[in-house]
Amino acid sequence: MKVLVINSGSSSIKYQLIETEDENCLASGLIERVSLPVGIISHKKHGELSHKEEAPVKDHQAGLDMMLKLLLHEKHGVIRSYREIDAIGHRVVHGGEKFTHSVKIDDKVMEALESSTYLAPLHNPANILGIKAARHLLPDIPNIAVFDTAFHQTMPKVAYVYALPYEFYEKRGIRKYGFHGTSHQYVSLKAAETLDIPYDKICAITCHLGNGCSIAAVKDGKSVDTSLGYGTMCGLVMGTRAGDIDPAIIVSMVEELKLTPSEIKNILYKQSGLLGLSGVSSDMRDIEKEEEKNNERAKIALDIFADRVRKYIGAYAVTLGKVDAIVFTAGIGENGWEIRERICRGLEAIGAHLDIEKNKIRGKLAVVSKDESPVKILSIPTNEEMMIAKETVKILSEE
Ligand code: ADP
């Protein structure tokens, strides 16, 4: 099947046309600066950049229209007719408690999506715009929504309820939802395949370390805990987000420092994490370069980043009881062998022995633990688009 995967953000649209039989990405692209005076369109055919232009992209519908023209283009295109597209898979950030699985989109699903936008006010409205535009432009092609939160809907109550007054959960849906679900699911599947363990038997700790970071405990192929929560601020140290902090700090920001809600939001979302600690950058590579120049704050930023990941791995090892694999993925996790080495120092305590030489790889699927290590350590490049395409095929085949 040919599945068009769309990841529609507030000012950008990412797309991939995937032949799911052989997991081949036929074409992909990025449309940036949607709704701004000048947009940027980059389109790849079979992995090679084939077209780049700057032009206004009025709205999401105009963006998708441009994408379709490129997919059909004589020189840049990979299909001859829209009808070759069998289905469209959309990334949707938040599915709330309602969507525990991917779902075929109809008017009822649209209504439910619109009514849950308050849970992800930055992301869901943009995802919905992409879905609406696709339904309008290609009315005959089925659309499937694949949620970042759905993989974590198997968490038990003990993992997802906060110790707040219970009404916060019951009346307002304030609970842990978790994110990066398609990535955690994809690398869990790949780890099971690589280690030759049936998927419904694998117990893994998956570390998605990119600009946003989260870690998940996966027991018998199902998420049982994860470090992101109601929103996307807690857990691990991220590029510009602090991860876990004592809520008393926020009270003090309000009462002592007299900061406004938007100032606090800005500090917690944009000025903390690796950026706030290092004072240099939110980008791992920049901080590693600074550490080489003996920048003390860069060193402490890397130490704190690694320490937090290691602590979560230890905690999730106990949650799982048995760990087959620790998986590193996303920009930092799959490329940064230096930080993987730092994180793994001390993990021998739970039976995970890194092979220092094997670990020196970037962007490749590999087992990087010692042969005799009871817990395997893997680097696995994530592929959220492929997971969305697989889910799309699965939902259609269940009809
Ligand atoms: P996003 O969450 O925006 O999708 P990515 O998964 O692309 O982010 O991850 C971005 C992070 O990956 C940045 O901190 C970047 O420095 C880091 N990264 C990319 N390549 C490397 C590398 N070779 N070594 C270390 N970190 C890397």
Contact, 66 vs 41, CB < 8 A? yes
Contact, 134 vs 82, CB < 8 A? no
**Residues 316-350 pLDDT 10s:** 999 999 999 999 999 999 999 999 999 999 999 99
**Residue 155 domain flag:** no
Looking at 108, 125, 147, which one is the last position of a domain? Answer: 147
CATH at residue 33: 3.30.420.40
Same domain for 215 and 136, yes or no, is no
- Give the Å distance between the CA of 381 and the centre of ligand 1: 12
Q: What is the mean pLDDT of the chain?
A: 96
Q: Name the pLDDT band for 43 (thresholds 50, 70, 90).
A: very high
d(CA 51, CA 234): 39
Mean pLDDT, residues 289-307: 98
Judging by DSSP bridges, how do beta strands 24-32 and 39-45 pair with one another?
antiparallel
Same domain for 298 and 366, yes or no, is yes
Q: Which atom of ligand 1 approaches the CA of 208 most closely? A: 6
DSSP 8-state class, residue 95: -
One-letter amino acid identity for 60? H
**Probe residue for ligand 1, chosen from 30, 275, 335, 341 as the CB with the greatest number of ligand atoms within 8 Å:** 335
Please tell me which residue in 148, 225, 283, 371 is annotated as part of the active site: 148
How confident is the model at residue 51, as a pLDDT?
97
Mean pLDDT, residues 64-83: 96
Mean pLDDT, residues 2-14: 93
Q: Name the pLDDT band for 121 (thresholds 50, 70, 90).
A: confident
380 CB near ligand 1 (under 6 Å): no
The helix or strand, by DSSP H or E, that contains position 14, with its residue range, turns out to be strand 13-19
**Residue 28 domain flag:** yes
Strand partners, 204: 218, 325
d(CA 60, CA 90): 14
**Residues 164-188 pLDDT 10s:** 999 999 999 999 999 999 999 999 9
Instruction: Name the nearest CA neighbour of 216 among 120, 148, 152, 146.
Output: 152
Residue 262: pLDDT over 90: yes
**Residue 389 domain flag:** no
Q: Domain span at residue 290?
A: 197-384
Residue 142: pLDDT over 90: yes
**Residue 156 domain flag:** no
- Residue 25 has φ and ψ, to the nearest 5°, of -85, 110
**Residue 334 domain flag:** yes
333 CB near ligand 1 (under 6 Å): no
Mean pLDDT, residues 130-137: 95
Burial 178-205 (b: 16+ CB within 10 A, else e): bbbbbbbbbbbbbbbebeebeeeebbbb
pLDDT-above-70 percentage for the chain: 100
273 CB near ligand 1 (under 6 Å): no
To the query of whether residue 148 is one of the catalytic residues in this protein, the response is: yes
**Residue 171 domain flag:** no
Same domain for 253 and 104, yes or no, is no
- Give the Å distance between the CA of 253 and the centre of ligand 1: 31
Would the CA dihedral through 305, 307, 310, 312 be positive or negative?
negative
Decide: pTM greater than 0.85: yes
- Give the Å distance between the CA of 284 and the centre of ligand 1: 7
Same domain for 138 and 201, yes or no, is no
Residue 120: pLDDT over 90: no
- Residue 78 has φ and ψ, to the nearest 5°, of -130, 0
Would the CA dihedral through 172, 173, 175, 181 be positive or negative?
negative
d(CA 148, CA 231): 12
How confident is the model at residue 122, as a pLDDT?
78
12 CB near ligand 1 (under 6 Å): no
Q: Which atom of ligand 1 approaches the CA of 239 most closely? A: 14
